[in-house]
């Protein structure tokens, strides 16, 4: 679940934080969180430690504008490469680079152990949780650097979807007229009205205590481990 924003609740206090990586501890339960100092201080008035009965839900990341940003992992080349998607407001579901789909690793990066090809510029397709995909062309591979894309989630989601157009029917030419039709003219089959896809309602999840390290949407300081 790295790369998403969540709202954490503790009683009447809450804060939106950005999940930056998955913790490797095998004994952590699903939904456990480790948080940074700013997050803890917003939710609690006691010194950092372990906190139970916290609730959280996935939300859109606030204050996101402009095109996607692609952060290449250090050491990326034609033989091995990793890419992280930044500056997005909805969770990333999948990433393909030049048609190669890299699995998500711990730090919200998508890695291909054999690289994404030898081309100097790449086509990156990012699919989000709402089903919308963004395709950026000519993305340069720059090891350890950020590369700005050309499209944003807002610009793509606001574009109207093309509607299918009816095909024209050619009128018969020449020849003798056929016999007059008998009986009732055939009626077109009724078309079912499209129904809106159901939208999922975020569910608050109870946390027993510490699986993703978090950072606030503002400046990140020292990481405080809760367990």
User: What's the pLDDT at 94?
Assistant: 95
CA-wise closest residue to 152 among 109, 63, 101, 89: 89
Q: Say yes or no to pLDDT of 171 above 70.
A: no
Q: Say yes or no to pLDDT of 218 above 60.
A: no
Residue 24's pLDDT band (cuts 50, 70, 90): low
Spatial separation of the C-alpha atoms in residues 65 and 144, rounded to whole Å: 23
Spatial separation of the C-alpha atoms in residues 65 and 73, rounded to whole Å: 23
**Mean pLDDT in residue range 45-73:** 86
The domain segmentation of the chain, as residue ranges, is 5-62+203-224, 69-151
- Summarised one tens digit per residue, pLDDT across range 80-104 is 999 999 999 999 999 999 999 988 8
User: What's the pLDDT at 53?
Assistant: 75
Residue 34 burial class via C-beta count within 10 angstroms: exposed 0-12, middle 13-18, buried 19 and up: buried
Residue-by-residue DSSP string for the chain: -TT-EEEEEETTEEEEEEEEEE---TTPPTT-EEEEHHHHHHH-SSPS----SEEEEEEPPSS--SS-EEEEPTT--SSSEEEEEES-SS-EEEEEETTEEPPB-TTSEEEETT-S-S-SEEEEEEEETTS-EEEEEEEE--TT-EEE-S--HHHHHTSPPPPPPPPP-PPP-SSPPPPPP-SSPPPPPP-PPP-PPPPPPP--EEE----EEEEESS----EE---
Q: Say yes or no to pLDDT of 63 above 50.
A: yes
C-beta of residue 216 within 8 angstroms of C-beta of residue 38:
yes
CATH code, 69-151: 2.60.40.760
First-to-last C-alpha distance (Å) of the chain:
19
Q: Say yes or no to pLDDT of 146 above 70.
A: yes
Q: Is pLDDT larger for residue 39 or for residue 179?
A: 39
Q: Say yes or no to pLDDT of 225 above 60.
A: no
């Amino acid at each position: 679940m790295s790369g998403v924003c969540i709202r954490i609740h503790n009683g009447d206090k809450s804060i939106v934080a950005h999940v930056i990586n998955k913790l490797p501890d095998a004994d952590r339960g699903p939904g456990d969180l480790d948080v940074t100092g700013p997050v803890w201080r917003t939710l609690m008035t006691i010194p950092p430690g372990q906190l139970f009965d916290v609730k959280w839900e996935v939300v859109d990341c606030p204050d996101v504008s402009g095109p996607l940003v692609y952060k290449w992992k250090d050491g990326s080349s034609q033989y091995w490469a990793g890419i992280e998607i930044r500056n997005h407001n909805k969770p990333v579901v999948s990433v393909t680079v030049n048609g190669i789909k890299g699995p998500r690793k711990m730090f919200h990066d998508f890695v291909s152990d054999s690289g994404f090809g030898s081309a100097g510029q790449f086509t990156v397709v990012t699919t989000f949780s709402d089903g919308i995909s963004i395709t950026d062309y000519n993305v340069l591979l720059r090891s350890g650097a950020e590369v700005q894309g050309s499209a944003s989630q807002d610009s793509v989601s606001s574009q109207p979807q093309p509607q299918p157009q009816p095909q024209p029917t050619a009128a018969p030419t020449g020849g003798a007229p056929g016999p007059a039709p008998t009986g009732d003219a055939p009626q077109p089959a009724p078309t079912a009205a499209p129904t809106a896809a159901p939208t999922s309602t975020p569910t608050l999840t109870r946390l027993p205590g510490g699986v993703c390290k978090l950072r606030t949407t503002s400046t990140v300081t020292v990481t405080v481990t809760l367990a």
